[in-house]
Amino acid sequence: MAFNAEIARKDFPIFEEKMRGKPLVFLDSAASAQKPRAVIDAMARFYSTSYANIHRGVYELSERATGAFEGTREKARAFLNAPEAREIVFVRGTTEAINLVAATFGRTHIGADDEVLITHMEHHSNIVPWQLLCEEKGARLRVAPIDDRGALDVEAFGKLLTPRTKLAAISHVSNALGTVNPVSELVELAHAAGVPVLIDGAQAVPHQAVDVQALGCDFYAFSSHKVFGPSGVGVLWGKAEHLEAMPPYQSGGEMILTVSFEGSTWNEIPHKFEAGTPDIGGVVGLGAALDYVTGLGLDAISAHESELLAYASQALETVRGLRLIGTAPHKASVLSFVLDGIHPHDIGTILDQEGIAVRTGHHCAQPVMQRFDVPATARASLALYNTRADVDALVAGLERVRGVFAR
Ligand code: PLP
């Protein structure tokens, strides 16, 4: 059956709630997505029937829990079309995935006078870990520029790849601008210069199918909560050759093979990077979320959202004094904007009175705000459950905001 957002929306119990006495218009999925009943039920079922600690138990319940947990590893492998399930490392989210790579691969390969290349549109979580690493090592952070539409300057990116560049870390989709980066092309450029590439996929995986083998990247990170799963869980995919060569990240139980007071040896990947008891129920919920989006079909979701983004971009242009921040030719899901003379926080607060949830602020991308010379924006972000009615409600809400300030 063809994808139908009106029907998919019914999978999400949250839309039965009223906000400020009005139907919920949820336009903040880039911050965190709502959860379908399939995820909520899978987690309740797991805790009701299959919960125990994983991996070391010899009893049936622990085997059930381990099976469910490891089942998600295979689902995540298939979701990213990764070659092997052992290349999937469960982490707390994209932030931890990037910190893990910085603390292990980064500390091993980046030394004094080396460079890490990022772009001007990165989320703070793909800036600060590299900044700290560069400070520690006496290395330099280089930043590829973006143009006035928020598109990456690919030529400049290419020129910034030098023999000193030891890693490029780039977002697949910008959370503040919606720009979709040409990641295959960037990976090709970087690899031609011998530079490995980490891709921050936090804003990509809810909106489009991702194939890490086709992209050719070295690492790919995403968060469960943005792809309709629970918060507190995420995935780092890395090529086995990298993961095997990397030193451990956190240490303790599970990540070891042997421990004595003289020294310890490490477990095989991915367990080497999964110290301590993980968020077992969360990982099971992530598995249900991946099943859910895969079942709907990411190509169908992507087609729906592209159509809705085009509709929304046109509709917002009718609002007097509104300026979209981020108009790159290739965009996904995000509409960041400012309204002449009205602070974004006021926009958010007035829209809230209508039951409309948008995000306002710097979106953890302060360099983007600096680039566009705005202190903050209001951001409406779309997901599979949004419809034209949500966009129409936003436009009507913005007219109301203008009305309040015209008084
Ligand atoms: N990268 C991007 C592009 C994001 O949008 C976000 C979250 O907004 C993150 C990284 C960080 O994700 P998390 O907070 O789930 O670790």
Asked if the model's pLDDT at residue 407 lies above 80, the reply is no
Give the separation between CA 321 and CA 312, rounded to whole angstroms: 16
- Express each pLDDT in 280-336 by its tens digit: 999 999 999 999 999 999 999 999 999 999 999 999 999 999 999 999 999 999 999
Q: Evaluate: CB of 125 within 6 angstroms of ligand 1.
A: yes
Give the separation between CA 102 and CA 250, rounded to whole angstroms: 13
CATH T-level fold of 40-294: Aspartate Aminotransferase; domain 2 (3.40.640)
Name 360's Cβ contacts closer than 8 Å, sequence gap at least 6: 344, 345, 347, 348, 376, 377, 378, 379
- Which of 223, 236, 366 has most ligand 1 atoms within 8 Å of its beta carbon, as the pocket-test mutant? 223
**292: which 2 tokens?**
């859910």
* Distance in Å, CA 125 to ligand 1 centroid: 7
Containing H/E element for 117? strand 115-119
Cis preceding linkage at 270, omega within 30: yes
Active-site residue among 52, 156, 209, 364?
364
C-beta atoms surrounding 263 within 10 Å: 7
The rounded Cα 247 to chain-centroid distance in angstroms is 25
The reply to whether 5-30+297-401 and 40-294 are identical in fold is no
* Distance in Å, CA 364 to ligand 1 centroid: 8
C-beta atoms surrounding 99 within 10 Å: 22
* Distance in Å, CA 200 to ligand 1 centroid: 8
pLDDT of residue 365: 95
Q: Evaluate: CB of 361 within 6 angstroms of ligand 1.
A: no
pTM of the predicted structure, to 2 decimals: 0.98
pLDDT of residue 57: 83
Give the separation between CA 401 and CA 346, rounded to whole angstroms: 8
- Express each pLDDT in 175-213 by its tens digit: 999 999 999 999 999 999 999 999 999 999 999 999 999
> Could you give the percent of the chain with pLDDT greater than 90?
98
- Express each pLDDT in 345-375 by its tens digit: 999 999 999 999 999 999 999 999 999 999 9
Asked if the model's pLDDT at residue 219 lies above 80, the reply is yes
End-to-end, the C-alpha distance of the chain in Å comes to 49
Residue ranges of the domains in the chain?
A: 5-30+297-401, 40-294
Q: Evaluate: CB of 95 within 6 angstroms of ligand 1.
A: yes
* Distance in Å, CA 381 to ligand 1 centroid: 14
Q: Average pLDDT over the chain, rounded to whole?
A: 97
Asked if the model's pLDDT at residue 1 lies above 70, the reply is no
Give the separation between CA 197 and CA 213, rounded to whole angstroms: 13
Active site residue 364: yes
Asked if the model's pLDDT at residue 242 lies above 90, the reply is yes
Please compute the mean of the pLDDT values over residues 226-244 and round it to a whole number. 98
* Distance in Å, CA 175 to ligand 1 centroid: 8
Q: Evaluate: CB of 179 within 6 angstroms of ligand 1.
A: no
- Which of 173, 198, 203, 224 has most ligand 1 atoms within 8 Å of its beta carbon, as the pocket-test mutant? 203
* Secondary structure class of 205 (helix, strand, coil): coil
- CATH for the stretch 5-30+297-401: 3.90.1150.10
* Distance in Å, CA 95 to ligand 1 centroid: 6
Q: Evaluate: CB of 224 within 6 angstroms of ligand 1.
A: no
* Secondary structure class of 5 (helix, strand, coil): helix
The secondary structure of 217-260 as a DSSP string is -SEEEEEGGGGTS-SS-EEEEE-HHHHHHSPPSS-SSSSEEEEE
Please compute the mean of the pLDDT values over residues 21-28 and round it to a whole number. 98
pLDDT of residue 2: 81
Q: Evaluate: CB of 302 within 6 angstroms of ligand 1.
A: no
Please compute the mean of the pLDDT values over residues 43-48 and round it to a whole number. 98
The C-alpha torsion from 86 through 91 and 97 to 103, rounded to 10°, is -90
106 to 19, 44, 130, 189: CA distances (angstroms):
45, 39, 8, 20
Asked if the model's pLDDT at residue 43 lies above 70, the reply is yes
The C-alpha torsion from 362 through 366 and 369 to 375, rounded to 10°, is 60
- Which of 175, 235, 368, 381 has most ligand 1 atoms within 8 Å of its beta carbon, as the pocket-test mutant? 175
